[in-house]
Amino acid sequence: MHASLVATAVALALCAAAQPLLAADAQPWTDKAKSAAQRTELLLKAMTLDEKLLLVFGYASGDQLAQVDSAVIPGVNTKEVIATVIPGSAGYIPGIEHLGLPAQHQADASIGVRNPNLERTSLPSSLATAASWDPRVAEAGGKMIGREARLSGFNVMLAGGVNLAREPQNGRNFEYTGEDPLLAADMAAGLIRGVQANHIISTIKHYLINAQETGRNIVSAQIGESALRMSDALAFELAIEKSSPGSVMCSYNRINDVYACQNAFWQNKVLKGDWGYPGYVMSDWGAVHSTVLAATAGLDQQSGFPFDKAPYFAKPLKEAVEDGSVPRSRIDDMARRILWAMFDKGVMDHPLKPGPIDFAAHAQVSQAAAEQSLVLLKNEAGLLPLGAPKRVALIGSYADKAVLAGGGSASVTPIGGTAVTGLGPGGWLTQVWQPSSPMKALQRLRPQTAFTFDAGTNVESAGKAAAAADMAIVFVHQWTAESLDASLTLEGNQDAIVSAVAKANPNTVVVVESGGAILMPWEKDVKGILAAFYPGAAGGEAIARILTGEVNPSGRLPITFPASTDQLVRRQIGGKSDGPLFTVRYTEGAAVGYKWFDLHGHKPLYAFGHGLSYTSFELGGLKAEQAQKAGGQVTVKFTVKNAGKRDGASVGQVYVRAPQSAQWEAPRRLVGFDKLALKPGQTGTGAVTVDPRLLATFDESTGNWVIAPGTYEVQLGAGSDDIRATAQLVLAGRRFTSAQLRHKAR
Ligand code: BGC
């Protein structure tokens, strides 16, 4: 659509939302002195059943909606919806003008505002940002995309992907925050806090254990309750506590045979019961399968109709209320949760005002995130940072003009459009290449060096280009996308290209642009490797600044890079997207990622937490203690000294190894981390307070977390494979529930 048409549509869409509220006494819920919960009750009382029902049914924009019978929901016709929705947006729920209730305009999300018609700033992939091991980086990114969302007319961001990278071949790992529940939670929570700081709602998604894309609508993830509580569910539990997202998005898959969006156990019992979640559950687009079952099992809002087979939460829900199969109190509960989120996050009090966006400033935010996040995996003989070589051959992956982005609903339309066109399956899965050239940035930073570029498609020509230079930098890429799973082997002849280049030039560095882990058959043959993930709108600049040492790399891997697929729990992804219903048994339980590798003694290619710097750090002074009083907090302190000659940042990683008697899923767990930026010679102190759930196992027969008494080993590492100090910690036994922890925290 033409940009000016889009702008008009956005303006029209927002008029309805921005109606001034009437006098406070006529509309007592407008009184800002009252709490979100009080205001919610007041507004709820003023609403009719039809108005409440209006809130629980969401539309997608787009052509499909035009085909839909206009009477899917009483009081709304789809033509009006089509006229009001922002073209190309993910979803929309109409407002109610006379109540001052704004429309909900939904957009994806985690790395930027996605809309095929709107060019917006993209952060690095969420997995890349997780590699910063610094929630402040994620929060700054969230603030930026939340600001762009408001200025674009969106007040509900479908952000906060926190599914564990349990399956390394999951094509959506780039949208998530790694394989460890604590790290994943902290990083997703940072993003959500940032988004919601703009008085808009963020989701957290996809609840729960949507660990592969193949057959995501039919697969059943089979896993025991305690294993799930200690892994994927724990990531949600911690992230929700740390960021209070307005909404939780339930996922496509089935969990132990029951569809996630109609799973009473995980929605009603765990999320809303045990965790006391006050917000609303919205469905993923096309993840609803019923009316009565879904409504009574805890789904509060059907999203993105007509992605689902039927308008389950429209007319059929009203009929179910009328015939008593869904109680009225449940409709109140659904509406209450949505209204609470709208009040609590500021959607009600801060009408949207579209306006100009400072893209230059936002590119800086994206670049800063990438510079904190890219991980230097290997650097032999001090080849990096780049000195002043006469001639450098850049090879492959459009490094002369662009960096890669992940595909699907998380892909953001770049400012200026994609730099490489015509790649990928097409449609919503068209490959996006951010127009940020590593080559141009390198040329700016090293004007004396001659940089040549070879496309990296022909082995012979790549070898020749490398042989003619003092140094070669090969860019390889793995494109991954929603709805598809990934191969860890690079596509095409990229491995052969790297091997040929390494043969032709002993000074070879590889820059990897990938969704997650890849296999590196050439790893021993090259001197340097930089994991750039999908580095975002200014990724080319960030890569160049790290290669040249303008920026000292400080990212650490949020996932394990396996040495071969033999080390994985599943060598291949199971099931088919178009086949019959199938199950995937997650036999590893909570032993996800490095925990699985530890358990089986596998030596990975690059370990969780690994990452190099151009300076060196001394880690020590480890002290772990438990406060004396019953249920006392465990705190860990340590020191880090920058023992080298450059400014740099180190991530102190604290792991705990349990005694056998504790029966953990694996020998040890990450229990905390602290990133410290230090000048040469400077010593800093890191501090970590350990969440007791990270020291416990979950006992599903009683619903308790249980800490086994005994002697534990606390490890301080610069990576999970680089432990620098250990200390003993004697723990008293303890049992507690999630609810008790929550009440204590208040
Ligand atoms: C994705 C969600 C996304 C939604 C709306 C779905 O296909 O799984 O993550 O928020 O589409 O675009």
What is the Cα–Cα distance from 435 to 279, expressed in whole angstroms?
Answer: 38
CA of 113 to the centre of ligand 1 (A): 13
Name the CATH architecture for the domain at 615-745. Sandwich (2.60)
pLDDT in tens, 474-526: 999 999 999 999 999 999 999 999 999 999 999 999 999 999 999 999 999 99
Which of these, 484, 548, 473, lies nearest to 513 by C-alpha position?
A: 473
CA of 308 to the centre of ligand 1 (A): 13
The residue whose C-alpha atom lies closest to atom 11 belonging to ligand 1 is: 285
Q: What is the pLDDT of residue 47?
A: 97
Nearest ligand 1 atom to alpha carbon 205: 9
Query: What residues contact residue 183 under an 8 Å CB cut-off, 6+ apart?
Result: 130, 133, 177, 558, 670, 673
What is the Cα–Cα distance from 27 to 29, expressed in whole angstroms?
Answer: 5
Nearest ligand 1 atom to alpha carbon 216: 8
Substitution candidate for ligand 1 out of 61, 64, 92, 158 with most atoms within 8 A of CB? 158
Compute φ and ψ for 394, nearest 5 degrees. -95, 135
DSSP string, 407-453: BSTTPPPPTT--SS-S-SSBTTB---EES--HHHHHHHH-TTSEEEE
Substitution candidate for ligand 1 out of 86, 93, 108, 305 with most atoms within 8 A of CB? 108
Angle, helix 359-373 to helix 135-152, in steps of 10 degrees: 160
Q: Helix count (H) and strand count (E) of the chain?
A: 21, 30
CB 639 within 8 A of CB 686: yes
The residue whose C-alpha atom lies closest to atom 5 belonging to ligand 1 is: 90
CA of 130 to the centre of ligand 1 (A): 21
CA of 285 to the centre of ligand 1 (A): 6
Written as six digits, the tokens of 582 are: 């199938």
Q: What is the pLDDT of residue 265?
A: 98
CA of 109 to the centre of ligand 1 (A): 9
Substitution candidate for ligand 1 out of 409, 411, 483 with most atoms within 8 A of CB? 409
Substitution candidate for ligand 1 out of 125, 207, 217, 482 with most atoms within 8 A of CB? 482
Determine whether 69 is exposed, middle or buried from the number of CB atoms within 10 Å of its CB (0-12, 13-18, 19+): exposed
Nearest ligand 1 atom to alpha carbon 210: 8
The residues spanned by each domain of the chain are 1-100+295-344, 369-567, 615-745
CA of 284 to the centre of ligand 1 (A): 6
Determine whether 569 is exposed, middle or buried from the number of CB atoms within 10 Å of its CB (0-12, 13-18, 19+): middle
Q: What is the pLDDT of residue 630?
A: 60
Q: What is the pLDDT of residue 627?
A: 87
Q: What is the pLDDT of residue 69?
A: 65
CA of 119 to the centre of ligand 1 (A): 19
CA of 700 to the centre of ligand 1 (A): 32
The residue whose C-alpha atom lies closest to atom 10 belonging to ligand 1 is: 158
CA of 49 to the centre of ligand 1 (A): 29
Q: What is the pLDDT of residue 521?
A: 98
Nearest ligand 1 atom to alpha carbon 409: 12
Nearest ligand 1 atom to alpha carbon 114: 12
CA of 158 to the centre of ligand 1 (A): 7
- Collapsing DSSP to helix, strand or coil, 715 comes out as strand
Instruction: Return the half-sphere exposure (C-beta side, CA atoms, 13 A cut-off) of residue 722.
Output: 19
CA of 555 to the centre of ligand 1 (A): 28
- Pocket lining for ligand 1, CB < 6 angstroms: 90, 108-109, 158, 205, 284-285, 409
Residues of the chain falling short of pLDDT 50: 1-21
For residue 477, how many other CB atoms are within 10 A of its CB?
Answer: 26
* Yes or no: domain 369-567 corresponds to CATH 3.60.15.10: no
Written as six digits, the tokens of 373 are: 């996040």
**Beta bridge mates, 376:** 530, 612
The residue whose C-alpha atom lies closest to atom 4 belonging to ligand 1 is: 285
CA of 423 to the centre of ligand 1 (A): 22
Q: What is the DSSP letter of 476?
A: E
Q: What is the pLDDT of residue 15?
A: 42
Nearest ligand 1 atom to alpha carbon 203: 10
Q: How many residues in the chain?
A: 746
pLDDT in tens, 8-62: 344 444 444 444 445 567 999 999 999 999 999 999 999 999 999 999 999 987 6
- Rounded to the nearest integer, the mean pLDDT of the chain is 94
pLDDT in tens, 417-436: 999 999 999 999 999 999 99
The residue whose C-alpha atom lies closest to atom 2 belonging to ligand 1 is: 284
CA of 91 to the centre of ligand 1 (A): 10
Report in angstroms the alpha-carbon separations of 619 from 540, 656, 722. Answer: 32, 16, 11
